[in-house]
Amino acid sequence: MTASGISVRDLSMSYDGVPILERVSIDIAFGTFCTIVGASGCGKSTFLRLLLGQERPSGGMILLDDAPIPHEPTPERGIVFQRYSIFPHLTVRENLLMAADFQGSPFLGRIFGARRRAAREAADALLEKVGLTAAADRYPAQLSGGMQQRVAIAQALTMKPKVLLMDEPFGALDPGVRADMQSLILEIWREQDMTVFMVTHDLQEAFRLGTRLIAFDKVRVDPQFPNAYGARITYDLPIDDVTEPPMDPDAGLALPDNRAEGAEIAC
Amino acid sequence: MRLINQKISRPAHVALAALPFVLAIIAYTVASDLRLQANPADKLLPSFASMADAFWRMAAEPDRRSGDILLWGDTAASLARLCIGVGISTGLAVVLGIPIGLIPVARSSLSSFVSTLSLIPPITVLPVLFIMVGLGELSKISLIVFGTAPVMIRTIALAVAELPKELLIKAQTLGASTWQIILRVVLPQILPRVVVAIRLGLVPAWIFLISAEAIASTEGLGYRIFLVRRYLAMDIILPYVAWITVIAVVLDRGLLMLSRKSFRWAHLGDDAEGGRL
């Protein structure tokens, strides 16, 4: 029972009778950088959507600071998706002004005058932090994938969320760009007081960034009926050294032999 | 090289695009000449000169009976009906289409109803309109609205429903209410689609406009065509059809240009080469 942080109790989720997650329970302390790995279809993204409140769990609950999270997205939980995270009809700077617009003007959805100038300054400061000052007046379609994700991260930060959720945010980026983005997100996480959940396919990335790594996998597999059981958390590793990945990250997470091959198919 | 890999240069594109028009004009000229040689009084395929004469009479000389210049009166009357009708449809499409596409309770209550309405052949409603609201402007405009609004509403609802879920969620994590999402996220993003819906809606709108004018009217482009049909006045009908086509093309291209100018972000990915659909 944490005083502050996220507590997941007996969470389960199924779609049309097919269980995806089974009785997942975990406590995550405030300020953790939690990376989430697992085979495709093993419920990583589902877990993230439940944390976001985008979907309602079939059972169990999620507590944020000891209060159940609302079943819809709220400003205290920011999100960065792999794609479609930023508004295509707005320039980069306008994207970062949206939060201030929403807070400051319930009916017009747009603030003016001195308040807008103040918001603009804050937005420009954020843009400088993520290295996008030169692109402030460009539209998302004119930016590279890495730049778009920088905007998405900066935009999520405009609300100063307690929890930042990221669903494979760097999955579509080139390796070099990805390394830059990893450094950027680490830097931001250290500066801002927040808990980060990041789903990734890349084990190296999971070890490099996370202070805690959780892996989703199916504990029980019925070979005749692969969808019979949902996934649970199979590994929960605290990572002490956040900068250096272990020599062989895959070894630490190798699946038990009898399921090593079947896992991908099962999930 | 395979045909699908050919690149068409700009001048070649213009020449190729003009070719079918030129061929059609040549074919008409030849056919018209042949008929006029056989019978100089032939009315079916008038020469370009006699059509230009007739069009000039309609466009520049006052009518002997009423003293009005008929073409401009007809054009103004028809365009007013068309614009009011399509304008009302556009308003309905935005006001109903966005809630249907975005808000579950609106979708549940309205989408089947609008789909059913859109399947009623609009022209069958015309007698009902004549009986209920009379033969005046209201019935013609109502027909245009009835014929275009349901499909436009569905187009907009579909466009809204196709917006990436991620953007709506993102807006919520930035603290937006449903109203703010409509105003700042949904509406600006579907405006280019509204323009597309208008462009597509204009096609049936013309059909219903001309039909309504043909049946009960005292002026308008459709009225004139059906009036002079009694005298086999092809020298007036054909230029009028061409004139209607010109107006339709200008409206369509104008809307496209407006969209490109106003919604630059939506056209950033457009393929500039080889003409536009």
Average pLDDT of the residues of chain A: 84
Residues of chain B with pLDDT under 50: 272-277
Once rounded to an integer, what is the mean pLDDT over residues A16-21? 86
Q: Which residues of A touch B167 (CB under 8 A)?
A: 84, 87
Residue limits of CATH 3.40.50.300 in chain A? 5-76+161-266
Under the banding of pLDDT at 50, 70 and 90, the label for residue A2 is very low
| pLDDT over 90 at A178, yes or no | no
B44 at interface of A, judged by CB pairs closer than 8 A = no
Cβ contact, residue pair B170, A108, below 8 Å: no
Q: What is the pLDDT of residues B51-80, one digit of tens each?
A: 999 999 999 888 888 888 899 999 999 999
| pLDDT over 50 at A252, yes or no | no
Once rounded to an integer, what is the mean pLDDT over residues A231-251? 63
A5-76+161-266 is classed in which CATH architecture? 3-Layer(aba) Sandwich (3.40)
Cβ contact, residue pair A102, B266, below 8 Å: no
Query: DSSP of B62-127, one letter per residue?
Result: --TTT-S-HHHHHHHHHHHHHHHHHHHHHHHHHHHHHHHHH-HHHHHHHHHHHHHHHHS-GGGHHH
Once rounded to an integer, what is the mean pLDDT over residues A63-86? 90
Under the banding of pLDDT at 50, 70 and 90, the label for residue A263 is very low
Contact indicator for B255, B198 with CB cutoff of 8 Å? yes
> Cβ of A175: how many Cβ atoms within 10 Å?
8
Q: What is the pLDDT of residues A108-148, one digit of tens each?
A: 988 998 999 999 999 999 898 888 899 999 999 999 888 99
Residue B68 confidence (pLDDT): 86
Question: How many whole angstroms separate alpha carbon B90 and alpha carbon B254?
Answer: 16
Task: List the structure tokens of B229.
Answer: 């049909």
Residue A217 confidence (pLDDT): 85
Contact indicator for A145, A177 with CB cutoff of 8 Å? yes
Chain A interface with B: residues with Cβ < 8 Å? 52, 54, 72-75, 77-79, 81, 83-90, 98-99, 101-103, 106-110, 139-142, 155-156, 158-159, 161
Range of lowest pLDDT (A41-50, A85-94, A249-258, B159-168)? A249-258
Cβ contact, residue pair A75, B173, below 8 Å: yes
Q: How many beta-carbon pairs below 8 A join chains A and B?
A: 86
Under the banding of pLDDT at 50, 70 and 90, the label for residue A265 is very low
Question: How many whole angstroms separate alpha carbon A126 and alpha carbon A152?
Answer: 11
Residue A240 confidence (pLDDT): 66
Once rounded to an integer, what is the mean pLDDT over residues A100-107? 91
Residue A241 confidence (pLDDT): 54
Residue A251 confidence (pLDDT): 46
Once rounded to an integer, what is the mean pLDDT over residues A78-82? 91
Of A73, A85, A107, the CB nearest to B172: A73
